[in-house]
Amino acid sequence: MRRTLCVCFLTVSLMVSAIEMFEGDFILLLCNYPTFNLDQPKVVWTRSGLSPSTVHKLQLEGDPLKDQNQLYRGRTFMETNALETGELNLNLTNLQLSDTGTYTCSIQDFREEQRVTDIELLVKEAVSHCLRWTVAWTASFSLPLSSECPAPPPQHHRPS
């Protein structure tokens, strides 16, 4: 099965970005914030419409996932040094249709909480993904349409 990595670059000011991905893919959501002068910082990724809303949380004492929504168990991770580098990136694997929604990266310290970014994610059915590759291949290589996912085309022929 083909996997796709999507990288969204987000800066300190609040940004909103929209991304379309397919079931089974994985995504890297980037969130950068200067954490070097914060007292006891922690980063919290949430998704609107969930209860509990926590997708992933990281603090200096480790990766406390006890508040994590069950839908994300075993599918999220962050670099352990994220709070030191300010690269608060969230890796979300094996995307599901139910992952569609708005993801928010927030940084918290002893005094306050700062909302850094919002990312709108739309997860589409994998069948659409297969048909997209088939149509792209048909246009470039005159291959017949099929109901199965074709192997990805050579790197230099991959459609953008």
Task: Write the pLDDT tens digit of every residue in 128-142.
Answer: 445 544 444 433 333
State what percent of residues in the chain have pLDDT above 90.
Answer: 48
Instruction: Provide the whole-model pTM.
Output: 0.69
Q: How many Cβ atoms are within 10 Å of 17's Cβ, its own excluded?
A: 15
Predicted confidence at residue 130, as pLDDT, reads 52
pLDDT at 21 over 80: yes
The reply to whether omega before 154 is within 30° of 0 (cis) is: no
Whether 53 and 69 have beta carbons less than 8 Å apart is answered as yes
Which residue in 93, 158, 121 sits closest to 18, CA to CA?
A: 121
DSSP per-residue string spanning 43-73: EEEEETT-SS-EEEEEETTB---TTS-GGGT
Predicted confidence at residue 127, as pLDDT, reads 66
Distance in Å from the first CA to the final CA of the chain = 19
Predicted confidence at residue 62, as pLDDT, reads 66
Task: Between 155 and 5, name the one with better pLDDT.
Answer: 5
Predicted confidence at residue 52, as pLDDT, reads 94
Poorest-pLDDT segment among 50-54, 101-105, 108-112, 119-123? 108-112
Predicted confidence at residue 113, as pLDDT, reads 87
